[in-house]
Amino acid sequence: MIDALNMAQGTAGRGSGDRLVRFLATKSINPFVPEPLRDMIMNPIKFRVTGSIAYGYEATILADMCDAVLDARQKGKLNYQQEHIAKRCEILVRGFARVGIIALVDEATGFQYERPRHDLEEQLNKFLAESLSRQVRMFPPEYFKHLCRLKNVELRPDMKLPPYFGKLTNDIIYRRIAPGLLVAIKNRRLERGKKSDKLHRWTSDDIGHPAISFQLGQATGLMKANTSFDDFHDQLDIVSPIFPEVPGLFDKSEDWEIPKIS
């Protein structure tokens, strides 16, 4: 919980819980903390880890704490020393909306090996279409215009885009929408379609398409503001970081890459 909120590390065990209690008691946060949340933080769950007693909370408490912090900031009550926590809360809330806090925490802790992976798979299925969707223009010309500019590729009306633009788009768009989504879309296409099908045509109208459009908007906006692809990419990593294929809360994607065997 301490790591998730980007707070300074506290003492292990109950000490970390005490740090959360003190945080919620600060003048800036306290008025925005509902009584049920306060009670749950004051009375953590006891459980045993390798013979020792540890303390924890229901995963959903993290979402409630984020709401309290963001409410305080919206009302202008947050002090500058807590701004970094509010920024982390924004990242968390976005992640919760995409895959669900329970599934996200289960994946991060390895608990998916103790229970079926249905939670995360069900969330990802919401992004996927049951069958090939109708042909619609998902990627606006503006996206490719600025991608060509940043990669120093001449854009002509009759041109065929370089093949590596597909890999760039996987990196810029699909890997940043939800953990494991790119693999899930490719698997759906492999099972029910053909390799030439555009990936976005295997995403759902109600969840998948809006998620792609949102990510396209973020990426294109950053492209417009930059003259260097590397600078754009660095900013994109901050605004919309890549999700690992095996989802963790804050793990870097390279930590999850399978090493190549020579």
Tell whether 157 and 84 lie within a shared domain: no
Q: What is the mean pLDDT of the chain?
A: 81
Tell whether 152 and 249 lie within a shared domain: yes
- pLDDT number for residue 17: 66
Place of tokens 């069958």: 131
Tell whether 74 and 150 lie within a shared domain: no
Tell whether 202 and 153 lie within a shared domain: yes
- pLDDT number for residue 174: 94
Tell whether 145 and 226 lie within a shared domain: yes
How do residues 202-229 score in pLDDT, each as one tens digit? Answer: 998 888 888 899 999 999 999 999 999 9
| Domain extent at residue 146 | 120-256
How do residues 12-53 score in pLDDT, each as one tens digit? Answer: 444 566 788 888 888 889 999 999 888 888 888 888 877 788
Alpha helices in 100-192 (DSSP H): 101-109, 118-125, 141-150, 164-172, 181-192
- pLDDT number for residue 4: 79
Do the domain assignments include residue 83?
yes
Pick 63 or 250 by higher pLDDT: 63
Domain count, the chain: 2
d(CA 18, CA 12): 10
The answer, yes or no, to whether residue 253 has pLDDT greater than 80, is: no
Domain boundary among 41, 70, 99: 99
Do the domain assignments include residue 105?
no
- pLDDT number for residue 98: 61
Q: In terms of C-beta density within 10 A (0-12 exposed, 13-18 middle, 19 or more buried), how is residue 85 classed?
A: buried
Tell whether 142 and 171 lie within a shared domain: yes
Half-sphere exposure of 163 (CA within 13 A, CB side): 1
Furthest C-alpha separation in the chain: 68
197-203 average pLDDT score: 91
Tell whether 153 and 87 lie within a shared domain: no
Tell whether 87 and 169 lie within a shared domain: no
CB neighbourhood size of 194 (10 A): 8
Q: With cut-offs at 50, 70 and 90, classify the pLDDT of residue 251.
A: very low
What SS3 state is found at 262? coil
How do residues 88-143 score in pLDDT, each as one tens digit? Answer: 888 888 777 666 666 667 666 666 555 444 556 667 778 888 888 777 778 988 99
Tell whether 79 and 162 lie within a shared domain: no
Tell whether 124 and 246 lie within a shared domain: yes
What SS3 state is found at 168? helix
How do residues 92-101 score in pLDDT, each as one tens digit? Answer: 887 776 666 6
